Structure 1
Amino acid sequence: MKKIKVLSIMAASLAMGAALAGCSSSTSSTGSSSSSNKVYKIGILQLVQHEALDAATKGFKDEVTKELGKSHVKFDTQNAQGDSSTATTIATNFASEKEDLILANATASLQAAESATKTIPILGTAVTNYQVALNLKKFNGTVGGNVSGTSDLAPLDKQEKMIKDFVPKAKKLGILYCSAEPNSKYQAEQVAKYAKKDGLTVKTYTFSDTNDVSSVTQQAASNSDVIYIPTDNTAASCAKTINNVALKAKTPIIAGEEGIMAKCGVATLSIDYYGLGKTTGKMAVQILTGKKKISKMPIQYYANPVKEYNPTICKKLGIKVPKGYKAFKN
């Protein structure tokens, strides 16, 4: 009897151990499955539709999708149509919907997102200067908090040098941009400093929105030997209008980015906005998967901008292209 009882107890113990092992295995499997089935919600706030910002958004989506898998990410892409109040509304909605991450494409988008939430990670892209955009008193390359991202700033001293490259006899430089865009103002001020050192007389011409682009461009084209336009979103969306005026006045334009140059400029120091978006996408994946903390991620810059010229407009204006410039191909 005693022997049978001991065997019964041993059998029961083994059965219980097997059952517990089964429970442990099941729990582990469920936890792993839950983690792998995570769907990340990403809100994308793009300020306005034009080639540069469109390319940055596409690069971001492509990179995130490639790394996380199409079934593991859900994008909510919204366009503010160039209106800052609309951008604020979109950012507020993203915050209330508790997105896992927000992509803020362009300066006004970043400002709206940063005002809407202090907890959801925000990555900017196609933002020229984060210190200016966010009114930071101190900036060492890392914003901190819940904000980081990529910058589309190409060296402004090298951009200014293109003025003399393409219009060597220029005396009067007109700088054209939207007064509502703080990063455009920053670029304009920096280029003006370099231009004055090179002996140019500088005058700024600003428009407040799309309604007065044509008239302000007319003033700039009539009173300038050459015009410089920074990476300005309003100017980019109205580049054809600017071209119609400037080309008629035979006033060449040096542009801050390729999209503007393609429609109205003779040259630019080109940034690959698709590549910039991909870099931002890599940052997003690192944040979402917990590999890096956004508060410690420095702003990243496009490493190798390219000196480009627009063959069509250069030919129409009779401009001789200097050495070292690559022809833009649309």
Structure 2
Amino acid sequence: MKSNWKKLLMAVLGATLILSACGEDDNKVNETEGSSEEKYKVGVTQIVEHPSLDAAFEGFKKALEDAGLDVEYDVNNAQNDKSVNTSIAQKLATSGVDLVFANSTPSAQAIISETQEIPVVFTSVTDAVGAELVESMENPGGNVTGTIDNHPDAISNTMKFLKEELGASKIGMVYNSGEQNSVAQVEAVKEIISDMDMTVVDASVATSADVKQATESLIGKVDSFYIITDNTVVSALESVVSVANENKIPMMVGEFDSVDRGGLATFGFEFYDIGYEAGEMAVKILKGESKPSEIPVQVPQKLKFVMNKETADTIGLEIKDVWNAEFNE
């Protein structure tokens, strides 16, 4: 009898131990499942705060959010200060981030000079090859890729519109000669108009505080303005708008945000879109699906003609149906 009780007791204890062990295994599985979602840290370096760059960053974040990634951002803005820009790059290169989002040419140049290991995805860059960010558009090489803010047809369409529709021949351009992306755009304009009986009259600035005076210095010398995607000038765009409107001079701009802020028109794209497209690249890199060197640099995918009707009315410009323009909201 005692032997039977002992056997029963041993059986119960054995079953209890098995159930306990199973419970522990289940807990381990649950703990593993609960921690299986990886958290990523992304460093952000942006040269200056203005609507276009801000929109690009919003697009970048949305792409990572749509992909379901859990991301912690280390956001840094240089406020157009070169020394601060360099310091940000140095900090991010040693901060243990999984990837750096470089929002502008100076930002990208600074970070790749500090690291050849951390993946870098850029946007708001005009000439990625000329800025020595990548070896070529098709094969970036190294640890860098991204999206550019230079559609191949945007400048040529703008020059044709100024000449054929507005009768302009002297194009005023205000830009920061210290920004490689701006120099590339000015040179591109000069090359395009070389056989169009048009000339560029330019004024260089070093800071946003110089923009209004530089714009005023062109009055009487130009019959139109073309404000490219120059970070320094765009950050002070309202001062250019005021000078252009006061003098009834049409001012073409480089992207939609500048139309919203008072520019007359653009053959452009949304900076949000190129930021989102850069974010899609970052997702592939973070997930280990691709290396930056394997992802071609991408041009803006959507180009359209958008006008600011209020600005057209201010300078006395009649809008023609044949322009097929869309209007900013």
Please give the range of the TM-score, normalised by the shorter of the 2 chains.
Answer: 0.7 to 0.9
SS at match of 2:175: strand
Is the alpha carbon distance of 1:114 and 1:198 closer, same or farther for their aligned partners in structure 2, counting shifts above 3 Å?
A: same
* Residue equivalent to 2:312: 314
Contact 2:104 2:123 in 1 (8 A): yes
Superposed, 1:96-135 pairs within 5 Å as 96-134=94-132
Distance in 2, Cα, partners of 1:143 & 1:34:
37
The correspondence of residues 205-220 of structure 1 with structure 2, limited to 5 A, is: 205-220=203-218
| Cα distance between partner residues in 2 of 1:166 and 1:305 | 19
1:38 aligns with 2:38: yes
CA deviation after TM superposition for structure 1 residue 163, in Å:
1.3
Report how far residue 107 of structure 1 moved: 0.8
Structure 2 residue 300 is matched with structure 1 residue 302? yes
Aligned amino acid, residue 122 of structure 1 = V
* Residue type of the alignment partner of 2:290: K
Deviation at residue 319 of structure 1 after TM alignment? 1.2
Distance in 1, matches of 2:302 and 2:260, equals 19
Counterpart amino acid of 1:139? S
Distance 2:110 2:104 in 1: 10
The secondary structure found in structure 2 opposite 1:220 is: coil
Partners of 1:205 and 1:188 lie apart in 2 by 11
Partners of 1:39 and 1:216 lie apart in 2 by: 47
Deviation at 1:104, TM superposition (A): 0.3
Distance in 2, matches of 1:178 and 1:128, equals: 14
Amino acid at match of 1:179: S
- Please state whether the residue corresponding to 2:317 is helix, strand or coil: coil
SS of equivalent residue, structure 2 residue 252 = strand
**CA offsets, 1:125-145, max 9 Å, x none?**
111110122276x52433211
Given candidates 137, 142, 157, the residue that maps to 2:139 is 142
CA distance in structure 2 between the aligned counterparts of 1:202 and 1:236, rounded to whole angstroms: 19
1:65 aligns with 2:65: yes
| Alignment gaps of 5+ in structure 1 | 1-17
Deviation string for 1:162-219 (max 9, x for gaps)?
Answer: 2125422x23222221112111111111112222311113222211211221111012
When the two chains are superposed, the root-mean-square deviation of aligned CA atoms in Å is 2.7
Quote how far apart the aligned CAs of 1:39 are: 0.9
Q: Paired residue for 2:219?
A: 221
Task: Measure the CA separation in 1 of the matches of 2:103 and 2:133.
Answer: 18
Distance 1:200 1:256 in 2: 19
Report the residue type matching 1:156 in the other structure. I
Pair 1:167-2:173 in alignment = no
Give the superposition deviation at 1:34.
8.1
- Paired with 2:155 and 2:240, the residues of 1 have a C-alpha distance of 22
Return the letter of the residue paired with 2:166.
Answer: V
The Cα shift of 1:279 comes to: 1.1
Conservation of the 8 A alpha-carbon contact between 1:311 and 1:327: no
Matches for 1:230-309 after TM superposition, within 5 Å: 230-309=228-307
Task: Describe the shift of the 1:67–1:56 C-alpha distance in structure 2 as closer, same or farther (beyond 3 A).
Answer: same
Name the % identity: 33
Task: Specify whether residues 234 and 38 from structure 1 end up closer, same or farther in structure 2 by C-alpha distance, changes over 3 A only.
Answer: same
Letter of the structure 1 residue corresponding to residue 68 of structure 2: L
Identify if the C-alpha distance between structure 1 residues 106 and 325 changes in structure 2 by more than 3 Å, giving closer, same or farther: farther
Shift of 1:304: 2.1
TM-score by length of 1: 0.86
C-alpha separation in 2, matches of 1:324 and 1:245: 25
Q: Which amino acid aligns with 1:148?
A: T
Residues 229, 255 of structure 2: 8 Å contact kept: yes
How far, CA to CA, are the matches of 1:173 and 1:163 in structure 2? 9
**Cα distance 1:98–1:84, how it changes in 2: closer, same or farther (>3 A)?**
same
Aligned residues: 311
CA distance in 1, matches of 2:259, 2:177: 20
